[in-house]
Structure 1
């Protein structure tokens, strides 16, 4: 098909533009109201992961999964609508939100990862069901789950990365994250042992 004729060009691009617009609306506006973004179960009925969950379904997700503790890896933004709604919903359900601010690419202060992972383990140990999330549910959440899997479950790094990829982590565009996680893992593990949250095998 030749696109040299202006009318032909218009007839080609108009339907394409409409299709792209509809696809965008379905992905960005409709789907998040039906399905929580990148939601997954890390430990059955105990530890869950996701991206930012739309306010329209957040309360239902928390109730359906009996989640009673939220660990978010995002910084506090006073003017952020979804974040404000999350706080409002959590307060209505008397669910605490524990906030640990990491960079969007999953890097950040290693101490923040230590504190976040320690909080997750303490909450689970106290019998709570925990939701860990960031904005996309890919890098920061993926990084924390990577550390949990490799430290507490002795999962291989390769398998933990494969799980991250299943939640849309891209090692080609964020290739520095895995080396970063591997580098901070020993100190996090040592800290967990000192806190009595991790028992090393004899």
Structure 2
């Protein structure tokens, strides 16, 4: 009898341990989803992430006081609502500046022309150059590729980082195929901080 009690006690203890581990794991997974790839770039100034849930963005606004949100997402179908419309609606209701930069090509259509994305970069620089824009959050869907490129531009433009250091940070934070994406890499290599002459070479 005592042996059975000990066995049952051991099993019950094991179940309690599993249950106690499952709760924090579930909470961590929920937080990871709600605050997708959220990272502090420069504390109090610039932040980056993937597409957070509405609850996640509310929490981050509460914690960090964003005055501007830059989204690099848009609808893939003309006339359809953007995938982060709920976020935009909430931010505007809170009087948070909301800038949508529709994804555009990073390489010129014709030799010698500016790449289409240059129009976005000018709008982006317009935000970065205004002190009242900060703190700023920049995000795309995953918070790795487009967000990584725009963060690199911020690093070079506002913090004086050299290109190689900005590219290394992109790789470190998950953009492991940047060397294969010649359009974005070419644009960043051609980019000169402080200049509005934004031209990238044809690959």
Q: TM-score, normalised by structure 1?
A: 0.66
Equivalent residue number for residue 93 of structure 1 = 94
Equivalent residue number for residue 153 of structure 1 = 159
> Which stretches of structure 1, 4 residues or more, deviate above 6 A after TM superposition?
104-107
Unmatched 5+ stretches in structure 1: 1-25, 193-202
Deviations along 1:36-72, one digit per CA (max 9) or x if unpaired, are 1221222221111111111232211111111121111
Q: TM-score, normalised by structure 2?
A: 0.66
Equivalent residue number for residue 111 of structure 2 = none
Equivalent residue number for residue 119 of structure 1 = 127
Measure, in 2, the Cα distance between the counterparts of 1:136 and 1:108: 22
How many residues align structurally?
Answer: 159
**Bigger shift: residues 105-114 or 41-50:** 105-114
Larger radius of gyration: 2
Measure, in 2, the Cα distance between the counterparts of 1:32 and 1:162: 24
Unmatched 5+ stretches in structure 2: 1-25, 108-114, 198-203
Q: Secondary structure at the match of 2:123?
A: helix
Measure, in 2, the Cα distance between the counterparts of 1:69 and 1:110: 20
CA contact (8 A) 2:148 2:175 kept: yes
Equivalent residue number for residue 44 of structure 2 = 45
